Amino acid sequence: MCGGIQYQDHKIYFPQPDARLPIKLRGGGVTWITWGRRQKEAIGKFPNGGWARLDSIKMGKWKPWHPKPVLIPIESFLEKDHNKQSHWITLATNMFLQGLVAERNGEQRVYIVTEETPPEYHWIHDRWPRLIKVSG
């Protein structure tokens, strides 16, 4: 379910209380946005967790947070299998994770969009980050 990412010299894990993810800007730069909401945070304006199921987005469950699709530039992401073993999955240079930026009262959080796992990785996890190929 993508518990961590590597971007340049940064390794970021969801359980870190101050975890932020890089978001690709239209001009080519990057900005950093807080990754989801942890259960230990005070009752908040955002859903618990750091992931948004693609089917729940399509069903409109994210509408209260004015979702906007974004690209998350990374070199690799971390998945843990059913035995809690870590597996780093490396992406091609033109691949990005799809993210969803949620907004409430001027505050933003980013969630990684997930979908069903490709058959060759079912042995690791049943949910997988949605990967987006960008040409150019």
Q: What is the pLDDT of residues 23-63, one digit of tens each?
A: 999 888 999 999 999 887 766 789 999 999 999 999 999 99
Residue 90's domain is classified under what CATH number?
Answer: 3.90.1680.10
| Domain with 15 in it | 4-133
Nearest in space to 3 (alpha carbons), one of 101, 135, 112, 91: 112
pTM for the model stands at 0.93
C-alpha distances out from residue 132 to 30, 67, 113, Å: 17, 17, 11
User: Which amino acid makes up residue 48?
Assistant: N
Give the integer Cα–Cα distance in Å for 133 and 92. 9
How many domains are there within the chain? Answer: 1
- Has residue 11 got a pLDDT over 90? yes
- The predicted model gives 117-129 an average pLDDT of 84
Give the integer Cα–Cα distance in Å for 116 and 63. 22
